[in-house]
A = this chain, B = another copy of it.
């Protein structure tokens, strides 16, 4: 049985992309509840009605926005961790240094979209909760792989599982971002790096 080919105009994927990108920008800056569909479509000069040709609801759209954010962040993380010139813990530290510098440029605002969804939305949308949880898990896995490499290389003690360490580091980073925004200061990020890299992951060969 062959499913019938679609009819009608080609779906304008470029428009779908533009809506997601505009939504990501607005939601990152203003939060999910405070961001209206109208504002998103106004940003890119698209009529409001078009939005619902591409997304079933604001909730479904939010889930896709979280997907997009996670993809971008994960790509950057993987980019840093793939730099095989450095030892694994150096690569991980370079990533957080890069993020800290980026947040400094933004005046220590906005934080992480997944963290924002976690605080604002996950209690009220099972769909978004599942997406956010899956993205966090994926990030953690990537960090855990880096830590496991350090353990195999002997620069990190193997007493603790790489997975547990990675989860803790990720959660701790999210908490540091919250405090960064409350204080409007990079100090919490510096404390994070000091505690994680100089104490928690303290190299035996140092």
Contact = CB atoms under 8 A, between A and B. Distances in A.
A19 interface: no
A29 B124 CA distance: 9
A106 to B, nearest CB: 10
A158 to B, nearest CB: 14
Given A115-B178, A199-B200, 18 more contacts: A31-B33, A109-B123, A115-B175, A118-B179, A118-B181, A118-B182, A120-B120, A122-B182, A132-B182, A170-B175, A171-B175, A171-B179, A174-B174, A175-B175, A175-B176, A175-B177, A178-B178, A195-B200
A42 interface: no
A132 B119 CA distance: 15
A160 interface: yes
Given A195-B200, A200-B200, A119 B179 contact: no
Contacts of A33: 31, 33-34, 120
A52 interface: no
Interface of A: 29-31, 33-34, 109-111, 114-120, 122-124, 129, 132-133, 136, 160, 164, 167-168, 170-179, 181-184, 188, 191-192, 194-195, 199-200
A123 B31 CA distance: 10
A171 B188 contact: yes
Contacts of A200: 195, 199-200
A115 B159 CA distance: 32
Contacts of A120: 31, 33-34, 116, 119-120
A144 to B, nearest CB: 13
A6 to B, nearest CB: 36
Q: Which of A114, A167, A173, A188 has the most CB of B within 10 A?
A: A167
Contacts of A109: 123
A133 B178 CA distance: 10
B129 A184 contact: yes
